[in-house]
Amino acid sequence: MVGLVIVSHSSKIAEGVRDLAGQMAPDYQNLIPAGGLEDGSLGTDPMKILDAMKTANEGDGVALLVDLGSGIMSAETAVELLDGEFPARIIDAPLVEGAVVAVVEASTGASLDEVVAAAEESRGELKL
């Protein structure tokens, strides 16, 4: 099953997105938050993201949902540090909407490519 990592500058945001998205597929247990720095301050840490990816991986790869700016750069660095150990992709989608779609798709046993494609479709969803 594809694992998912939520990357945010805030641990509270990462955990909140995990909690919200997790409600859509309560049996899916592979949604790991990677937010904030170890001391609790705001920021992103490639090593924390790398650890989360290793926790989330069950053999089918990991997709990462990111908030913005240096969160994207930290996620890219973490993927590079993974050095091809297993497939990992960064999803280009809104954090919350993308996470909800990704969790639902991943919970069906979809492939990494299918999870990424479905979540990236959420970019075009209108709210009004």
Domains of the chain: 3-123 (3.40.50.510)
> Does 124 have pLDDT greater than 90?
no
pLDDT-derived band at 125, boundaries 50, 70, 90: confident
User: What's the pTM value of the predicted model, to 2 decimals?
Assistant: 0.94
> Does 114 have pLDDT greater than 90?
yes
Mean local confidence (pLDDT), 23-27: 92
60-92: per-residue pLDDT in tens?
999 999 999 899 999 999 999 999 999 999 999
Task: Characterize 79-90 residue by residue with b for buried, 16 or more Cβ atoms within 10 angstroms of its Cβ, and e for exposed.
Answer: beebeeebbbbb
Catalytic residues: 9
pLDDT of residue 126: 84
Nearest 10 degrees: CA dihedral of 101, 35, 56, 17?
-30
Cβ atoms of residues 33 and 52 within 8 Å: yes
